[in-house]
Amino acid sequence: MQSRQSLELRQHQQLALTPQLQQSIRFLQLSTQELELEVAQALVDNPLLEREEEYDTDAADAVAAREREQEDRWSSLGLSNRAGGGSQDDEAVRPEAALAETLQDHLQGQLRLTRAQPRDCALVTLLIDELDDNGYLPTTLDEILTCLPPELDVQPDELHAALRLLQSFDPPGVGATSLGECLQLQLRLRLAAKPDGLAPQVHATAMDIAGKHLDILASGNLNRLREALGCSQETLRAAHGLLLTLEPRPARNWAAATADYVTPDVVVRKSGKRWRASINPAVMPRLRVNAIYESLLDTAPASAAMQAQLQQAHGLIKSMNQRFVTILRVAQAIVDRQTGFFEQGVGAMGPLLLRDIAQELGLHESTVSRATKQKYAQTPWGVFELKRFFGTALQTDDGETTSATAVRSLMLKLVQEESPAKPLSDSQIASRLAEQGVNIARRTVAKYREAAGIEPAILRKARAALEQPQ
């Protein structure tokens, strides 16, 4: 039998995470403070980029000073025959003090030291941006996958690998999806760092407690915990002591430095009979490419590095402008859908889904999510994160429809005011809500609690027990 050989030509499409696309996605995700830090660093790194307001003056001496500065900087880049300008200009652009490092900066710095491929780095960056103030990943990987554009063709294994890489970074326990996983990650790292410094039985018992028995630990019944583990009192005491040395909030040091105020990205005012959203000018950096540099690059030979900096400057300005255009479009669509809130207050906030805004604007739900995360609007009722305007419809016993977002806000307030030693159960939260006229089932409370990233009462109590040495 003779075998036949043939050539077959196939075509398929695959969207790559290009640097420009990665920058646009990242800029949209950034908060106002993070964007300002990004812009400040870009101004230091790229001499072709400048703030418009820095040189906008009619004074002749200011114009002359600007030209001299540009001439000196051009010299420092090796594009002039003048000598001695390089070292002076290096000193001029060097920042006076280091910028405050955020948790995201800390993690990104470690990511850059790895040998991960660009696509993997993009996925790790996506996970870093999803971390909450405690350093946990509150969103499941399945939910993240559903929000990613299908054309990127991200596989579950890729996302799991990105999460494992993130969880290997400092601080120990970062990227955990639960308190138990956070403690187990730290225990594994502790064993790897000092394999001879931990008794195997003690380490195994601590791992078992973190993985299966945090509820019993939270109850404070150590006798019951010892029976469940089948270990001696001495081993249990040593394992408990080991757990007390771990950090249940990996991002504590960074969260403590977070300011307790925000600058609104959007201002909502009533114009005639319509509420209109506008970008707050205070949060929009005014950047431009230096015209003199750009004209010289057009007329004189320049190095590939200079051409790359020119392209980067234009790309950064384009990504930043696109960020504000998207935020404004999303904000105005939200305002149009939530007129009741702006007229009457939080109690009149209606149900709204990411899908509603995405379909109206022709955007992907993940884009709407990024455009509303850590973006704030100044309203007649105070400053609100744009994400707070989303929520499903909830039917109460009196036949009225309320927003699930408003209910989650009430739940969050109840949890914040509870005693750490006696946290409210889902049933107790349901009873407290009923007293305020919101009648929902316990299972609905559990659903909204999970959506708001609030741990069950038993884990909140366990966390409090771990943070208070016995």
Ranges of each domain in the chain: 103-167, 179-254, 393-467
pLDDT tens digit at each of 470 positions of the chain? 555 565 655 555 554 567 777 788 888 988 888 888 888 998 888 888 888 864 444 434 544 454 455 445 444 444 333 333 333 343 333 334 445 678 999 999 999 999 999 999 999 999 999 998 889 998 889 988 888 888 888 899 999 999 999 999 999 999 999 999 999 999 999 888 877 778 899 999 999 999 999 888 877 788 888 899 999 989 998 998 899 889 998 998 886 544 456 789 999 999 998 999 999 998 988 899 888 888 877 776 667 788 888 888 888 999 999 999 999 999 999 999 999 889 988 767 778 888 999 999 999 988 999 999 889 999 998 899 998 888 765 555 444 555 666 677 778 888 888 988 888 988 899 888 888 777 788 888 888 787 777 878 887 887 777 766 54
User: Which pair of structure tokens corresponds to residue 292?
Assistant: 């003199």
Burial 417-439 (b: 16+ CB within 10 A, else e): ebeeeebbebebbbebbeeeebe
Write down the pLDDT at residue 166.
96
d(CA 302, CA 292): 14
Give me the DSSP letters along 367-383: HHHHHHTT-EEEETTEE
d(CA 90, CA 110): 26
* Run of H or E residues at 106: helix 103-112
d(CA 455, CA 440): 19
Whole-number CA gyration radius for the chain: 27
177 Rama class: left (phi>0) / alpha (psi -120 to 50) / beta: alpha
According to CATH, what is the number of the domain 393-467? 1.10.10.60
d(CA 457, CA 470): 20
- Helix/strand number for the chain, H first, E second: 24, 8
User: Which pair of structure tokens corresponds to residue 184?
Assistant: 């187990």
The pTM assigned to this predicted structure is 0.49
- Please state the φ and ψ torsions of residue 380, each to the nearest 5 degrees: -60, -15
Beta bridge partners of 287: 51
- Please state the φ and ψ torsions of residue 253, each to the nearest 5 degrees: -65, -35
In 362-441, which ranges are continuous DSSP H helix? 365-372, 404-417, 426-435
